[in-house]
Amino acid sequence: MSLDPENGDPENGVESPERRQRRSAPPAARRMSAAAKETVLIVVSALVLSLVIKTFLAQAFYIPSASMHDTLIEGDRVLVSKLTPGPFDLERGDIVVFKDPGGWLGFGATEPASPWREALKRTLTFVGLLPQDAGEHLIKRVIGLPGDEVACCDAEGRLTVNGVPIDEPYLRPGSIPSEVGFDVVVPEGNLWVMGDNRQNSQDSRAHLGSPGGGFVPMDDVVGTAFVVLWPLNRIAILHDPVATFEDVPDPDPTSSEP
């Protein structure tokens, strides 16, 4: 007679060792085992859900510099929607996180972390449980969309977009729209971006003479920042400055880059 290794032969009163061991285990031990399995299931499900959200919907980023004062300050954690660009179109005034188009970021020395700390940080960042740090990313505000002519400055010191001067309420108090004069037409598939803290922002203006002309390829955009998550006293929705650009017309399709 062969026995089922799990259950034995209950009809003939024969019990397998495995079943006997489970039945004889103390109730507390069985409860602990069930709780451990449930905890593992919850943790794994949470990690998978976090990874899916980070990959397709939203990702947290850490603000490392002063270029977006006072809208964003050092240490802020922002949540970035990956649905824009994508299902939703970018708009002037959006705050975007993008990969370094090439040469925008310096290479300052950083304090080396122990291998296990670095591995843990990379793992938690990968699954979305830690915010992405500056790494190879920057955060700026979209001023010009593909085809837009962006220039500075008019007689009153304001930026103009497609010939219309704009008032920028998001600028850091004391900042001016630009201390550098420029007149550019944004190429197809690119953006012109600037920081809110204009006199402390290495943005599109600082790379006019570099390869790429200071423009950011749309393909390098990770998404748009829409909320400050941390610290608690900084939690806020990042509203688009709709009124700032509402009078700006669509770009002239016959215009060309100077």
Catalytic residues: 67, 140
CA distance 164 to 33: 68
Question: What is the 3-state composition of the chain as percent helix, strand, coil, each rounded to the nearest 5?
Answer: 30, 25, 50
Q: Phi, psi at residue 193, to the nearest 5°? A: -125, 150
Residues 6+ apart with CB under 8 A from 63: 72, 73, 74, 75, 76, 77, 78, 139
Token look-up 């992405």 returns: 132
DSSP letters for 57-87: TEEEEE--SSTTTTTS-TT-EEEEETTTTTT
Token digits of residue 23: 């039945």
- Residue among 196, 222, 213 nearest 204 (CA): 213
CB 195 within 8 A of CB 207: no
- Residue among 76, 70, 65 nearest 170 (CA): 70
Residues paired with residue 183 on neighbouring β-strands, in sequence order: 151
